[in-house]
């Protein structure tokens, strides 16, 4: 009886825990069991932004597994890839990099041109890759998701949910554990340029071991973050934070509570696939533009357009860098409060 009373008290304490209230949909689950530890509007439609690149990476992993590519395969910077808005690495037309390099840059730098390069290498054409994205999303049970591009740049048809991102993340962890280290890289070097990860938790939150951030005006500040302590691994999905600081703090709070709750909740909680949609048919994602991009947001007619001033500035930097013989650029950085750059690190070796 005493043990039962303790459990009841603990449940009451955990149920009354204060959660951050300044983000959109949120989700926390045990990475190994798939048990849901927390869910708030987890089936509400949302713009994924660069979290889209988790699907691009997953399809690339599958292509390598199936023998369609290897880590050493060279992929080409086509005219279509070269034309993508920042964030990008800005390689010359026809230049090549390895699939291994591309995956690292995709996750660390969140480069849109590299996302298209990988898409064309995996499926032959961009349209073919998008069709494959949607087919695999259906296969994974991502019933609230639809993709129209491999990078997450603004488009009204590019939609997902926190639940679906959880299913995708769980599939990456389950199917391709050999790529775990890819998501925890603090940075990557290509040529003379060092690119730092946008993930604000790496090296700062106990056990943080990666995944991916995303940001456009429409989505606000998104993140899928994982942390591991001992034998416990917890994943948090945070969508629609109003700024990078709130995204970081919300994610840390949810992960910390996930570790505290997991031992008790995981035995009784639902699995990700059991979360049922509470969204009305045809409901559109909430648009964060007026909150996140105040002063630059021009209303619904401009809802899905990349911020033009930011893009022009980034492309100007790209032109200057290219003229100087160093095409790497930082336009479109997802961190709104950048930190001083870390010292360069040795060129990373391909993983076998």
Catalytic residue positions, numbered: 50, 53, 110
DSSP for 307-324, please give it. Answer: -HHHHHHHHHHHHHHHHT
Q: Which two tokens stand for residue 296?
A: 């630059």
**Helix, strand, coil abundance in the chain, percent, nearest 5:** 40, 15, 45
Residue with the two structure tokens 């304490």: 13
Residue with the two structure tokens 């390099």: 101
Q: Report the 10 Å Cβ neighbour count for 314.
A: 22
Q: Which two tokens stand for residue 253?
A: 């709070």
CA distance 162 to 40: 9
Tell me how long the chain is. 352
As a dihedral over the C-alpha atoms of residue 133, residue 136, residue 141, residue 146, rounded to 10 degrees, the angle is 20
Indicate the SS3 state at residue 274.
Answer: helix
| Chain centroid, CA 233 distance in Å | 18
Of 155, 172, 153, nearest in space to 164 by CA: 172
CA distance 215 to 336: 10
Q: Which two tokens stand for residue 122?
A: 């995996």
Query: 224 burial class (0-12, 13-18, 19+ CB within 10 angstroms)?
Result: buried
Cis previous bond, 120, omega within 30: no
């Amino acid at each position: 009886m005493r043990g039962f009373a303790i459990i009841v008290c603990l449940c009451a304490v955990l149920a009354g825990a204060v959660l951050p209230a300044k983000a959109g949909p949120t989700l926390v689950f045990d990475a190994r069991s798939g048990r849901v530890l927390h869910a708030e509007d987890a089936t509400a439609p949302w713009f994924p932004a660069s979290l889209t690149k988790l699907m691009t990476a997953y399809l690339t992993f599958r292509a390598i597994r199936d023998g369609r590519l290897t880590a050493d395969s060279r992929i080409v910077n086509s005219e279509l890839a070269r034309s993508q808005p920042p964030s990008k690495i800005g390689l010359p037309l026809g230049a090549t990099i390895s699939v291994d390099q591309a995956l690292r840059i995709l996750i660390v730098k969140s480069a849109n041109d590299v996302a298209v390069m990988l898409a064309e290498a995996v499926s032959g054409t961009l349209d073919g890759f998008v069709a494959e994205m949607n087919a695999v999303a259906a296969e994974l049970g991502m019933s609230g998701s639809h993709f129209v591009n491999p990078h997450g740049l603004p488009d009204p048809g590019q939609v997902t949910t926190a639940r679906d991102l959880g299913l995708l993340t769980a599939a990456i962890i389950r199917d391709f554990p050999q790529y775990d280290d890819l998501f925890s890289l603090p940075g990557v070097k290509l040529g003379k340029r060092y690119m730092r990860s946008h993930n604000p938790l790496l090296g700062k939150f106990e056990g943080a071991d990666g995944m991916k951030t995303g940001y456009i005006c429409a989505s606000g500040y998104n993140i899928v973050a994982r942390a591991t302590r001992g034998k416990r691994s917890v994943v948090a999905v945070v969508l629609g934070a109003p700024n990078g600081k709130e995204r970081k703090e919300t994610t840390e709070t949810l992960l910390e509570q996930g570790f505290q709750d997991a031992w008790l909740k995981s035995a009784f909680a639902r699995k990700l696939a059991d979360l049922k949609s509470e969204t009305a048919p045809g409901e559109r994602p909430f648009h964060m533009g007026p909150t996140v991009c105040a002063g630059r947001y021009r209303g619904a007619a401009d809802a899905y357009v990349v911020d033009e001033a930011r893009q022009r500035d980034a492309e100007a930097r790209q032109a200057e860098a290219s003229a100087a013989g160093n095409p790497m650029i930082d336009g479109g950085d997802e961190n709104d409060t950048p930190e001083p750059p870390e010292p360069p690190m040795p060129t990373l070796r391909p993983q076998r």
